[in-house]
Chains A and B, each alone.
Chain A
Amino acid sequence: MRPFDYRSPADAATAVRSVAADPTAVFLGGGTNLVDHLKLGVVEPGLVVGLAGLLPAEVQELDGGALRIGAGVSNSELAADPRVRERFPVLSQALLSGASGQLRNMATTGGNPLQRTRCVYFQDVTTPCNKRTPGSGCSAIGGWTRNHAILGASEQCVAVHPSDMAVALAALDARVRVLGPDGERTIPFVGLHRLPGDAPQRDTVLEHGELITAIDLPADPIARRSAYRKVRDRASYAFALVSVAAAVDIEDGVIMDARIAFGGVAHAPWRAYRAEEVLRGAAAADGTYRAAADAELAAARPVEGLDGGNAFKIPLLRRTLTATLRDLAREESR
């Protein structure tokens, strides 16, 4: 690990100025991903700016049942918040399906969406990777593909975003409050993460030095009937092969409205607008759910690789969406 300076400023504005002024500087939140990357040599900052105690650590009540989650709120506290469990169950479930008890105690609301891909080639500095070293090539295409993208990838990068929390936030139309050297701005959560294109080194639209200070959850009654379902290679403490965040409003067997997002399949949490269009106004039945999945997955492009490729994710995601919606519909009719 290369030597670095460490600072723990007194407030967020100072932290932002420190990082913005130094191209080699990084923010340190819970550290669960960054400290690992320091050890692996994936990042080699000259300055680490600690955020402990600088960011709001409360979940604040806004008008009409909306919530403002301070960026310093831990993943475990957020998952346990009674308001989140009641009004936004998909978010609590997504958080609890990720990582372990220890990691959720460390990980923060601001840091979780900014964690980086767990692509094994990205994390292995001896292999080419366009995300880690732009222009060096992609080892994942034609390599080990089980954990890679089927939607929105490019010839440069097929990595997926690893966060479960982010999939729920994409479905919930959350908004991200950001502090930068020139002041504050708010961006829709679905616009936070980028697709890889020809610049896979950039995970998000944030500029260097910009800091997430809070995430807002708008009041939305549909979110009360929501769920997160995650499929993985072991029962706990593993990243998603595919996952589904879903919220539905069903009246008399007809889907009035729906919010759907997928995880484990793209460089960003994947809001499934095409699936939502198919669901809206249709009968709450397995045939509808499969048609919704197929509408979204028409654009799927599996990656070929040494392990047989990842085309298995297409039927797996179709079945996972169907099962999630079937369960929610059953809940609705109780």
Chain B
Amino acid sequence: MDADITLRVDGAPRRLTVDTRTTLLDALRERLGATSPKKGCDHGQCGACTVLSGGQRVLSCLTLAVTQDGAEVVTADGLPAAAAADGRLADGDLHPVQRAFIDCDAFQCGYCTPGQVVSAVGMLDEFARGWPSAVTRGTAEPRLGRAEVAERMSGNLCRCGAYATIVPAVQQAAAATGRPAAGVEVAG
């Protein structure tokens, strides 16, 4: 059974006809040439397929493309353009989270990295909105120490085990974007 959908992917309007069984991940990778989201487990257990839909981080492998008609989807590839469009970045620059991952050498094989980067962008936005995590105590504003970053990023697995550099990269990016107001414990 086919369905016609229109969505914006990394700023560009795209129209396509999809089989209703197609996931957003497969539509992006196989139909639209957007290959930065990766197929890791394909069952929502690894986070490699993370994209932003409507500004929120979601798993594209557990999202049917047909439910995304009219959606604004941003992949790791489109993060700099999305930030530039908001006036937060000069054209041609990397997104601060991408820059921090390079600075901190926050990957080994790199397969999980686009999902990690998109997830970190979504996570920092959630943090800036004051959303708590499972390790946040009470209702005071938390600081982005190691425990907070690890908990908030726990949906992104790295089989190389590069967490020792991913956590500092996320903390550096939080500091670089001027968020959150509550401050960042870089050594935390």
- List A residues at the B interface (Cβ < 8 Å): 1, 3-6, 8, 28, 31-32, 35-36, 38-40, 48, 50, 52, 76, 79-80, 82, 85-86, 92-93, 96-97, 99-103, 105-106, 235-237
Q: How far is the CB of B119 from chain A (nearest CB, A)?
A: 7
Q: How many residues of B contact A (CB 8 A)?
A: 41
A31 touches B123 (CB 8 A): no
B155 touches A96 (CB 8 A): no
How distant is the Cα of A96 from the Cα of B126 in the complex, in angstroms?
Answer: 13
A101 touches B43 (CB 8 A): no
How distant is the Cα of A8 from the Cα of B131 in the complex, in angstroms?
Answer: 30
Task: Provide the residues of chain A in CB contact with B168, threshold 8 Å.
Answer: none
User: Is B83 in the interface zone, CB < 8 Å from A?
Assistant: no
Task: Provide the residues of chain B in CB contact with A3, threshold 8 Å.
Answer: 1, 19-21
B67 touches A32 (CB 8 A): no
Residues 14 to 46 of chain B near chain A (Cβ within 8 Å): 19-21, 23, 42-44
Task: Provide the residues of chain B in CB contact with A82, threshold 8 Å.
Answer: 139
B150 touches A32 (CB 8 A): no
Q: Given A38-B21, A100-B155, A102-B47, decide whether A80 and B129 contact each other with a Cβ distance below 8 A.
A: yes
User: Is B50 in the interface zone, CB < 8 Å from A?
Assistant: yes
Seed contacts A28-B67, A102-B58; 9 additional CB < 8 Å A-B pairs: A3-B20, A35-B63, A36-B44, A36-B62, A48-B64, A50-B64, A80-B132, A101-B126, A103-B155
How distant is the Cα of A117 from the Cα of B50 in the complex, in angstroms?
Answer: 24
Task: Provide the residues of chain B in CB contact with A52, threshold 8 Å.
Answer: 67
Q: Given A5-B1, A103-B59, decide whether A93 and B134 contact each other with a Cβ distance below 8 A.
A: yes
How distant is the Cα of A52 from the Cα of B5 in the complex, in angstroms?
Answer: 15
Task: Provide the residues of chain B in CB contact with A40, threshold 8 Å.
Answer: 43
How distant is the Cα of A38 from the Cα of B63 in the complex, in angstroms?
Answer: 11
Task: Provide the residues of chain B in CB contact with A235, threshold 8 Å.
Answer: 150-151, 154
How distant is the Cα of A2 from the Cα of B50 in the complex, in angstroms?
Answer: 25
For this complex, 19 residue pairs linking A to B, each with C-beta atoms less than 8 Å apart, are A3-B20, A4-B20, A6-B64, A35-B63, A35-B64, A39-B42, A76-B126, A79-B132, A80-B131, A96-B132, A96-B136, A99-B155, A101-B153, A101-B155, A102-B47, A102-B57, A102-B58, A102-B122, A102-B155
User: Is B177 in the interface zone, CB < 8 Å from A?
Assistant: no
Q: Which of A31, A36, A97 contacts B67 (CB 8 A)?
A: A31
Name the residue in B47, B50, B119, B155 with the highest tally of chain A Cβ atoms < 10 Å from its Cβ. B155
A5 touches B132 (CB 8 A): no
Task: Provide the residues of chain A in CB contact with B165, threshold 8 Å.
Answer: none
Q: Which of B23, B42, B44, B134 contacts A32 (CB 8 A)?
A: B44
User: Is B6 in the interface zone, CB < 8 Å from A?
Assistant: no
How distant is the Cα of A277 from the Cα of B134 in the complex, in angstroms?
Answer: 30
Q: Which of B3, B44, B58 contacts A105 (CB 8 A)?
A: B58
